[in-house]
Amino acid sequence: MIDSIFYAFPDATFYEKSIIENDHYTFFMIREPSGVSLVIGSKSGFAVDFPFQGEKRKLKEGTFLKCPLSADNTASLRDMFPFTKPVLAGKGNSYGLGDRLGNAGAAHLKAIRKTGFFPVLAQQSIRELERTGRTAQQVIDAASWAVFREGYRDGFGADGDHLKTTGDIDLMIASGFTMFTIDPSEYVVNEAISISEASLQKSFENLPWDELNDSPEAFLNRFENTTFELHDGYALTPSKKEILTGMVKYGGVIAHTKKLADYLRHQYPEHPAELELSVDETDQPTTLFEHLLIASELQRLGIDLVSLAPRFCGDFEKGVDFRGDLNQFREEYLQHLAIAKKFGGYKLSIHSGSDKFSVYEVIGGIGEGAVHVKTAGTSYLEALRTIAEAEPGLFRRILEFSKSRFLEDKKTYHISGVPENIPDVEAMPDHQLKNLLGLDDCRQVLHVAYGSVLHGQREVSAAFKKELMEALDRNAELYEANLEAHFDKHLAPFKQN
């Protein structure tokens, strides 16, 4: 029956990996100039209560439905094919594949299936949802269709990233997310490292001890005059000031994490859930004792982490490689890894993980423990690389608009890009435009403006997004090839890990 349906779509690209046949139906996906659809064929016809809705057409051998990728049809897809639902990632190697446009998932899977990594295919933060104008449900739905299209049945995760409130958790639960990354950055007391001893002592005594199921005396008994063994004979024996400073800095973080973890556990006891804690957005790198303190206290409180994101040494700026001492990173990573092993074997999570190729080489070379890498902006940049190659006029306009938005859009990012360092694109031949995606300054200017391009000034962004999405549809093969090659480069250093 498939052959007869194929003839009904002479201009379509058929996604062969999506074909599923059973005794009653044939399912597969196609791409036409008008977009992507699900096609369902039946020799005996469709019952009135058939869960998929679409345009019905008769054939000599039966009937088929051409179904849009609507919310209702996506829900039916997940009901009929459980492999299109997100599941828990667990504590093995995993990769976060943020897709801000909702069309990168298939290429992400093409790259990931060459490795042993578990794909966290649906990954979006509250900030990203606001800046792209997407919903959490749309993020999950895009991942489900990507998995179906590629016939990927090894499981994928869904990460509600940088969640700060119980309302954020509710939003992600309602859409089916399974991984919850807690962002307690508002509770970090960065100034703890510089206040007077008297102020430090007072702040320590005033921590929310009831919420921590603890007391100052019991806490100090656990940490004072104690040596903690780490990697290859390395040991920590923190001074009392280090202990007080660490707890004042992170006591509120631990209490807030407990509050959200308890809420998730008690409010949604049947929902599959795993927790990541992000403490990477601080003024200073996370010291080894600070990491140990957080991990120890969360374990005492019965909170099991799937991963934890410290702030590592050096600079993890958006869209560019690591800037710092790789030898220092390696030595400290080994000790952070030892702490993770000591307190539950959770993964170390690399935030702002896009394009940190030198860091990947270090971690892949270590070959111990497990890692979770989060990427997002780099996929958007590969979309713009595709536009630069295929539709240079549109790329020029997006770049100029991004430059005009830079001073405003960079405020919430840690970057050092300078728009003035970007060459004059008006004087540049079309075939050279894609080379701009190799320049750090250009990458960062384009990266931070994604929200303005996709969902900023309505009259401008609506036109930009429509043009961008249509151009990527027209050049879908090039776009997916660019994405796959880019993520092959991301993943290759870990193959030995």
Active-site residue set: 161, 276
Question: How far apart are the C-alpha atoms of 107 and 142, rounded to whole Å?
Answer: 12
Give the DSSP per-residue string, 77-133.
Answer: HHHH-GGGS----TTS-EEEE--SSS--HHHHHHHHTTSSPEEEEEEEEHHHHHHHT
Question: How far apart are the C-alpha atoms of 403 and 417, rounded to whole Å?
Answer: 11
What is the DSSP-derived secondary structure letter of residue 342? H
Question: How far apart are the C-alpha atoms of 434 and 300, rounded to whole Å?
Answer: 52
Strand extents, DSSP E, 358-496: 371-375
Summarize the chain as % helix, strand, coil (round to 5). 50, 15, 35
Q: Which tokens go with 221?
A: 């008994």
Strand-pair category, 235-236 with 228-229 = antiparallel
Residue 442: how many CB atoms within 10 A of its CB? Answer: 24
The one-letter code for the residue type at 169 is I
Instruction: Residue 389: name the closest of 443, 424, 433 by CA.
Output: 433
What count of residues does the chain have? 497
The one-letter code for the residue type at 487 is F
From residue 423, give the alpha-carbon distance in Å to each of 199, 203, 400, 426, 435.
Answer: 51, 51, 11, 9, 11
- Give every CB contact of residue 435 below 8 A, 6+ residues apart in sequence: none
As to burial, measured by CB atoms within 10 angstroms (0-12 exposed, 13-18 middle, 19+ buried), residue 210 is: exposed
